Amino acid sequence: MAGCGAGGSGVDAACSVPQLDLEAQMDAVLSQATSEVDFSFSVDRQDGRRYTFNRGTSTLHTIYESASTSKLVSAVIILRLVEQGRLNLADRPQKYITNWPIVSGPLLNMNLTQLLSFTSGLTMEPPCLNEANSTLETCVISIANTNAGNAITPGSQFFYAATHQHVAGLMAVKARGVPSWQHVYAEFKAQTGLFSTSTFDVPSLSNPRIAGGMHFTGEEYMAFLRALKGGLLLNPASMSQLLADHTASATIVFSPMLSGIGGGPGLGEDWHYGLGVSHECQSPTFNCVAGTRVSSPGALGSYPFWDRSKGYTGIVVRQGLFGTLITGIMIERSVRPIVEKWVAC
């Protein structure tokens, strides 16, 4: 069930245990990990060596629904448009969305940075986010109307919801001057060679949930993480924005890591947020160095991560019930001590 990529198989000078023995230990732990569905787990380390474990019929080529793992992908796509000069992080929705209905109150001042950091004030999710017969633009207007008048000052509250990136996605479409998010996504794929078989189609192609609407494979997401880590997708300024803690001065009003999502449990941990990416912190109060370990977990249990302090990336990919957010995280944590020994070899 396990496999590895480039690299030797003997005992490294820094190791007290052979790499293959560590991989066998990871196999043993993962074979016993709690998961109600099959899953795949994979990590890439600095020297290019890869470890992969597949349970049941799952592989890194199995197509899975993304849920919120798409948040990081969407943020990178939009930041690349900022780099190209088509958008600015200080831009407000009404600059591009001519029928934007919020014309007064605090929400008038929300900007792209706040949309990508989930601090825009758009806390209420209308039904259209799950409606296949809607369109991205129709749903964005519904989001604005649903939240108008809530008197939330943008930047003051972190509220984890799909609303923020839906608006940011339409801004990207309008700024790029194309008919749909599908055109924006196709251009990103053509420019980078990534996600060649992936689609943004949940709940539909006409109304893709920017914050959670992909189908992808683990292999494709691993390639994306490798390119992001390697500096191939964003310039240093954009990477700095992506990895900054944009919630340090915000009140954490709703975070699934604290309280769960979709009826599932949370971790009771106070994670912070960058632009489309979580800053992990295994503490009930955030006391960590932002950007040390970042991730984009999904409500179906997939969990892509980048440990920047130790220089490796990886993913748990699975498709459980909605609300099994922490299952993928717990799978990874069950094997992390051995992974870290393997990474250090």
**Which residues, including other chains, have CB under 8 Å from residue 268's CB and lie 6 or more apart?**
258, 284
Average pLDDT, the chain: 95
Mean pLDDT of 157-178: 98
Query: Radius of gyration over alpha carbons of the chain, in Å?
Result: 20
With a cut of 80, say whether residue 286 has pLDDT above it: yes
Phi, psi (5° rounding) for residue 303?
-150, 90
Query: pLDDT tens, 191-223?
Result: 999 999 999 999 999 999 999 999 999 999 999
Pairing of strands 312-318, 39-44: antiparallel
pLDDT bin (cut points 50, 70, 90) of residue 1 is low
With a cut of 50, say whether residue 12 has pLDDT above it: no
Are 293 and 309 in contact by the 8 Å Cβ rule? The answer is yes
Domains of the chain: residue spans and CATH = 66-296 (3.40.710.10)
Query: pLDDT tens, 315-336?
Result: 999 999 999 999 999 999 999 9
Closest of 67, 66, 68, 72 to residue 277, by C-alpha: 72
pLDDT bin (cut points 50, 70, 90) of residue 338 is very high
Q: What is the pLDDT of residue 17?
A: 79
Are 4 and 50 in contact by the 8 Å Cβ rule? The answer is yes
Mean pLDDT of 223-232: 98
Exposure class string for 146-164: b at 16+ Cβ within 10 A, else e: bbbeeebebbebbbbbbbb
Mean pLDDT of 167-174: 98
Q: What is the pLDDT of residue 345?
A: 86
With a cut of 60, say whether residue 111 has pLDDT above it: yes
With a cut of 60, say whether residue 4 has pLDDT above it: no
Euclidean distance between CA atoms 113 and 318, whole angstroms:
30
Residue type, position 15, single letter: C
Between these two residues, 6 and 305, which has the higher pLDDT value?
Answer: 305
Between these two residues, 345 and 239, which has the higher pLDDT value?
Answer: 239
Euclidean distance between CA atoms 23 and 232, whole angstroms:
29
3-state secondary structure of 268: coil
Query: pLDDT tens, 140-153?
Result: 999 999 999 999 99
Is residue 90 exposed (0-12), middle (13-18) or buried (19+ Cβ within 10 Å)? exposed
> Which letter does DSSP use for residue 277 in this model?
-
Is residue 258 exposed (0-12), middle (13-18) or buried (19+ Cβ within 10 Å)? middle
> Which letter does DSSP use for residue 17 in this model?
S
Euclidean distance between CA atoms 43 and 51, whole angstroms:
5
Are 138 and 128 in contact by the 8 Å Cβ rule? The answer is yes
Are 284 and 308 in contact by the 8 Å Cβ rule? The answer is no
